[in-house]
Amino acid sequence: MRNWNFNLTRTTLLVGGTAALLLAAVPLQAQRGGGRAAPPNAKASAPIDLTGYWVSVITEDWRYRMVTPTKGDYQSVPMTQESRRIADMWDPAKDEASGNQCKSYGAPALWRVPGRVHITWKDDETLQAEVDTGTQTRLFHFGDWKPAGGEASWQGDSVATWEGRGAGRGGAGGGPGGPGGPPRSGSLKVVTTHLKSGYLRKNGVPYSEDANLTEYYDMAKEKNGDQWMVITVVVTDPKYLTQPFVVSSQFKKQADATGWDPTPCSSRW
Amino acid sequence: MNRTHIIRIIQSCILTAAAVPAFAQIDLSGSWQSINHEDALERGGGPYTVDYAGLPFTENGRARALSYSQSQLSMPERICAFYTQFHMLLGPFGLKIWNETEPLNGRTIAWKIGAWEDKDTTTIWMDGRPHPSKYAPHEKAGFTTGEWDGDTLTTYTTHMPAGYIRRNGSPSSDQATMTLHFFRHGDLLTMVGILEDPVNLSEPYIISRSYQSSTNMGPTAAAPCIVGDEGPKEGEVPHFAPGKNPNVDELTKLYGIPPEAALGGAETMYPDFRKKIKDKFVLPPKCTENCGGPRGGGGAAAGGPGAAPPPPPPPR
C-alpha cells in the first residue's frame, strides 16, 4: 500500500505539474501566434479595438474648448514668460492671412477640439485617426517605421506601441484572440515629434517646434453598454512650458457616422 | 500522503496556474500629486456660481442648483458636511493609495484612498462581497467594490448621501452611483469617473484627471470639524427663490458664454452644441478675471506636481 501511494504521488504530481505548466503556457503560445514563426502585426496583436466613430464629450475646460477663449485667458497652462509674451500678441486675422488657421488643430491640442474621430486601420502596421473638426488626420506607425523627414507638420511623426498585459497576444484587431476570445486589456502609447509650432489653446497659447508629445489611449466599457476612449496627453516643450502639460480627454463610442461633419480649420471659432 | 492530499495538491497546481490572470494587477499604492492643468477653477477656488456648462442636468437638477446659496455652508447643520466620493474627481487634492491584505495569504482584500479635509476615506473592497441592501444607511464614504480588468482597476460606488457634484451647489441625489477606472502608465495615473444620477442627471457625467507619482506624502485623513456659529439666523436656509438668482449672466459678462450654455444640460456636452451658440457668442476683448499666466494663477504656480491650486475668485 505504501508503494502504491508513493507511485501515485509521483505520477499525479507529474500529471498535475504538467497540467499547470500547460495552462500557464497558453498565453505564451497565443503570443507566438499559435506556434507560427512570424510575429503578429500591429493590427493582429491589438489588445484593444479603438476602431470606429467616437464623439468627444466636453465636461472639462468648457470655456477653453466649446467657445473661443478670451485673449489673455491662460489659466492652468504652465507657461513660461516667453510663452506669455507670444500669446499676448495673438492675432487670428494674422494667422488667417498667413494661411495658419490650423495652428490650434495640431497634435498637442487636437483631442481638446470638440468633434468626432474616425479610427481605422490604414494597413496592418498603421492606425489612422481622422478628425472632422478642422479635417485633420493622424497616422500612428507601429513596428520599425522610420519617418521620411522633410518639413514639420501639424500632426508630426507618430510612433505607436501597444502596452499592457494583453499587448502582443492578439485579438481585438482580428488576431488569434479574436472577438469571443480570452479577455484582453492594454493601451496604446503614441510618441509624436517633428511638430510644426502651433497653439495649445485657440487664443494663442503657443507650443514650439521643439515640443514632444506622449499619449496614452485607454478604453473602458460600462454596464449600460457605453464604451469610452480616454486619451491622456503629455506635452513637453522646453521653450514655452515650465513643466509637462498634462490633460485627459474622453470620447464616447458611436454606432455609426452620425454627426460626422468635416469642417475647415478656423482661427476664430 | 493519502489520496485526498494528492488530489488537493493537483487541484492546487491547476488552480494556481489557471488563476493567474484573475489575480493579476498592478500596484497603485503610493502618493499621487494632482496635476491641475484642466478645470483650474473647479480644482482651485471653486467654479462660478452659475457655471453648469457641460453638466447633463435634468430640469430638477438645474432648479435645485439655481436655488443654492453658498451661505448654506455657514449653517451649523451643514458646516461640517463633507462632499461625496465624486469630489475626488473635482477637488484640488492628490491621492494617497494603499492596499490592505489578507494576513494568511497576502491577497489584497481592499484598496484605500485617503481622506481629504472635506472627503471621507474610500475603501474599495476587492474580495467579492456584495453591495448592501438599498435600505442600508448612506454614508459619506459610500460603499465601493472593485475588480481588475487586466491592468485597469474598475470600481463601483453606491450608498452615497445626497451632495454636490460641483462646488457651486450642483446637486447629486442619494440614488447616484459612481464608476471609476484607474489607468496607470508608469508614474502617471489617470482616473476616470462616471456619475449616474436618475434624479439630477439625464446622462452619465464623465470626468477624467491625471496624477503624478510623488515622494511627498499624500493626504490620509480628514481634519476634525467643529460646528460653530457663523451667523445665519436659526431656522432659515439661505437660498435664491426661483428666477431670483443674481448670477445667471455672470459667464456671459466675463467670457461671452451664452446663458443657455451656462445653464447646462446634456446637449452642452457635445460638439454639435457649438453650432447652436456660434452666432450668440461674443468674444470679449480681454480676459479680466481668473486669467492665469506666469504671474497669475494659471502658470506653473497653478499647474502640476507640487503646485498650489490657483487662487479663489474674488467674492461675488
**What cell does B244 get?**
431670483
CB atoms B183 and A232 under 8 Å: yes
pLDDT of residue B8: 58
Cβ pair B151:A84 closer than 8 A: no
Judge if A102 and A214 occupy the same domain: yes
* Cβ-Cβ contacts under 8 Å, B36 against chain A: 76
- Chain-chain contact of A247 with B298 (C-beta, under 8 angstroms): no
E-strand ranges in chain A read: 52-56, 116-123, 126-131, 136-141, 157-163, 187-193, 198-199, 206-207, 212-221, 227-236, 245-254
Helix A2-31, helix B3-18: angle, nearest 10: 10
Whether B172 is covered by a domain: the verdict is yes
In a domain? residue B297:
no
Is B311's pLDDT higher than 70? Answer: no
Q: Mutation test of the interface with chain A: which of B270, B278, B280, B290, choosing the one with the most A Cβ atoms within 10 A?
A: B270
Sole residue written with cell 453648469: B52
Cβ distance of B310 and A77 shorter than 8 Å: no
Give the nearest chain B residue to A260 (CA atoms). Answer: B272
Chain B residues within an 8 Å CB radius of A116 = 271
Which is nearest to B289 in space by CA: B316, B261, B258? B316
Q: Has residue A184 been placed in a domain?
A: yes
CATH number at residue B136: 2.40.128
Tell me which chain B residues have a C-beta less than 8 angstroms from the C-beta of A186. 150-151
Q: Which of A28, A67, A80, A85 to mutate to test the interface with B (most CBs of B within 10 A)?
A: A67
Angle at A222 between CA A217 and CA B185, to 5 degrees: 30
Model confidence at B211: pLDDT above 70 = yes
Residues of chain A found within 8 Å of residue B270, distances taken between Cβ atoms? 55-58, 114
Do A191 and A237 belong to one domain? yes
Do A147 and A79 belong to one domain?
Answer: yes
The span from the CA of B161 to the CA of B137, in Å, is 9
- Name the residue among A9, A57, A184 with its Cβ closest to that of B6: A9
Q: Are residues A233 and A173 in the same domain?
A: yes
Shared domain for A14 and A132, answered yes or no, is no
Q: What is the pLDDT of residue B135?
A: 95
pLDDT at res. A30: 38
Give domain status of residue B236, yes or no. no
Shortest CB distance from B210 goes to which of A61, A189, A232? Answer: A232
Q: Which residues of B touch A20 (CB under 8 A)?
A: 13-14, 16-17
> Which of B10, B152, B304 has the CB atom closest to A16's CB atom?
B10
The predicted-structure confidence for A40-57, as pLDDT tens digits, reads as follows: 999 999 999 999 999 999
Q: Do A191 and A82 lie in a common domain?
A: yes
For position A185, what pLDDT does the model report? 79
> Does a structural domain hold residue A269?
no
pLDDT band, very low/low/confident/very high, at B129 (cuts 50, 70, 90): very high
Do the domain assignments include residue A263? Answer: no
Contact A28, B241 (CB under 8 A): no
The more confidently predicted of residues B148 and B226 is B148
* Pair A73, A6 in one domain: no
Mean pLDDT of all residues in B249-255? 95
Residue A78, phi-psi category: left (phi > 0), alpha (psi -120 to 50), beta (remainder): beta
Question: How does pLDDT run across B177-198, given as a tens digit for each residue?
Answer: 999 999 999 999 999 999 999 9
| Percent above pLDDT 70 for chain B | 85
Q: Are B174 and B160 in contact (CB under 8 A)?
A: yes
Contact B185/A at CB under 8 A: yes
Does B80 map to a domain?
A: yes
Q: What's the domain range around B205?
A: 30-34+56-214
Q: Which of B26, B33, B177, B185 is the best mutation test for A, with the most CBs of A within 10 A?
A: B185
Do A11 and A141 belong to one domain?
no
Output the CA–CA distances (angstroms, integers) from residue B209 to A78, A191, B36, B184, in the order listed.
16, 20, 8, 12
Q: Taking 70 as the threshold, does the pLDDT of residue B275 lie above it?
A: yes
B179 touching A (Cβ < 8 Å): yes
Q: CB–CB of A62 and B41 under 8 A?
A: no
Query: What confidence tens digit (pLDDT) does each residue in B14-41 have?
Result: 444 444 444 557 999 999 999 999 998 9
What pLDDT score does A27 carry? Answer: 40
- Residue numbers in A near B18 (CB within 8 A): 23
- How confident is the model at residue A184, as a pLDDT? 60
- What range defines the domain where residue A192 resides? 38-254
Mean pLDDT of chain B: 87
Q: How confident is the model at residue A8, as a pLDDT?
A: 44
The whole-number pLDDT of residue A53 equals 98
Whole-number pLDDT of residue A205 = 98
Does a structural domain hold residue B280? no
Q: Do A220 and B302 touch (CB under 8 A)?
A: no
Q: Are residues A1 and A131 in the same domain?
A: no
The answer to whether the beta carbons of residues B182 and B32 sit under 8 Å apart is no
Locate the chain B residue with the closest alpha carbon to A201. Answer: B38
Domain count, chain A: 2
Closest residue, chain A, to B291 (C-alpha): A73
On whether both A2 and A114 belong to a single domain, the answer is no
Pairing of strands B122-125, B143-149: parallel
**What pLDDT sits at residue B7?**
56
Which of A246, A247, A254, A258 to mutate: most B Cβ within 10 Å?
A246
- CA closest to A115 among chain B residues: B271
Whether A67 sits inside 8 A of B208 (CB atoms) is no
Query: In the predicted model, is pLDDT for residue B136 greater than 80?
Result: yes
B160 found inside a domain: yes
Question: Low-confidence residues of chain A, pLDDT below 70?
Answer: 1-37, 165-184
A55 and A163 in a single domain? The answer is yes
* Total domains in the fold of chain B: 1
Kindly state whether residues A51 and A173 are assigned to the same domain: yes
Q: What is the CA radius of gyration of chain B?
A: 23
Rounded Cα–Cα distance for residues B167 and B155 (Å): 24
Residues of chain B with Cβ-Cβ distance to A250 below 8 Å are 192, 206, 208
pLDDT of residue B312: 37
pLDDT at B6: 56
Alpha carbon distance A197, A210 (integer Å): 8
Taking phi over 0 as left and psi of -120 to 50 as alpha, with beta for the rest, A72 belongs to left
Please answer yes or no on whether B150 and A183 come within 8 Å at the CB atom: yes
